Amino acid sequence: MFLDRDASIDKACALIREAAEGGATLAVFPEAFVPCFPVWVWFIPSGRTHPLRALYSELHSNAITIPGPETQRLGEAAADAGITVVIGVNERNSEASNSTLYDTILYLGSDGAVLGKHRKLIPTTGERLVWGQSAEAGLEVFDLPFGRLSGLLCWENYMPLARYALLAGGEQIHAAPTWDRGEPWISSMRHVAKEGRCFVVAACQAFHKDDIPDSLDFKTEYLGEVEGWINPGLSLIVDPDGKIVAGPLDSEEGILYADVEPHQLIGPRWQLDAAGHYARPDLFDLTIQRGARPFLREEDGPQSVEDDVAP
């Protein structure tokens, strides 16, 4: 499924069905699941423009637009299963040049409708070789039957103001599609859950070198000394007390499940409510610029003197 849009969507649809059959009402997928995370950014030097161009072109041709036929397919799978879906995708900037790619969270309701999307605000280090940074905040919170849902991508979770904006929007369940893994990341997810008094679902793709087709030159040219798991995954679910209730899932593919009781979304905030009684809006002020900044503005030019003269 690496760099294969149709195959990655087929896999996503199958996992949506499996998660629903397992009793889930919400499924969270990893960062850039469709069609893949551009793993080459950690291995190919930025000055090697020709291999980077070739891989970017391939990724672009397998990226999606929102909405589009791919979101319809995923939406139909969500509706058939009756499950809400959060999935990481590579998205084209179809509103302008259609050439830049964004690292995007796509939200789909249990009726299959596109609830919204969030483009990554700041791609991290090597990711900037592939993804643009969002021209809008996209920090929406969705009020769903099982709770108020939103999320951030990977190291966006280290942006305190972004986290606070979601908490001030009433977030109770926090999706964290990511490529990061390891103990520091696990500790961070526990902190995000404890600070926000919310459930955190951190989904990271377990990725093996064998997942890269041999036909791609960069596998032999830049990954020759790499063996086994490039990313062990370590997906996990954390409760509002910062306790791990599922995972981490180490070096294997699978689905983690956790039960969420309504009282867990409110009760822990009796002690700490970061956007409630623990906030000080009289001392601190946060403003979010809503809406996208267009790439092109069109205005009528000034009228000439001749235009004002009657014939």
Domain borders along the chain are 5-294
Angle ∠(290,294,295) on CA atoms, nearest 5: 145
pLDDT for 244-286, tens place per residue?
A: 999 999 999 999 999 999 999 999 999 999 999 999 999 998 9
Per-residue pLDDT at 301: 73
* Averaged confidence pLDDT in the chain: 94
From 31, 70, 91, 127, the catalytic residue: 31
Helix (H) or strand (E) holding 115: strand 114-119
At 171 the three-state DSSP class reads coil
pTM to 2 decimal places:
0.92
Q: Is 117 a catalytic residue?
A: no
Q: Can you tell me which residue has the tokens 């490529």?
A: 179
From 117, 120, 194, 219, the catalytic residue: 120
Q: Is 31 a catalytic residue?
A: yes
Q: Is the dihedral of CA 44, 49, 53, 54 positive or negative?
A: negative
Positions in the chain short of pLDDT 50: none
Cβ neighbours for 55, distance < 8 A, ≥ 6 positions apart: 38, 40, 44, 216, 218
Per-residue pLDDT at 290: 81
Helix (H) or strand (E) holding 248: strand 244-250
Q: DSSP H helical segments within 90-147, as ranges? A: none
Q: What percent of the chain is predicted at pLDDT more than 70?
A: 97
- Considering only the top CATH level, what class is 5-294? alpha beta
- In whole angstroms, what is the distance from residue 21 CA to residue 14 CA? 11
| First-last CA distance in the chain | 68
Q: Is 91 a catalytic residue?
A: no
Helix (H) or strand (E) holding 7: helix 5-21
From 13, 36, 154, 198, the catalytic residue: 154
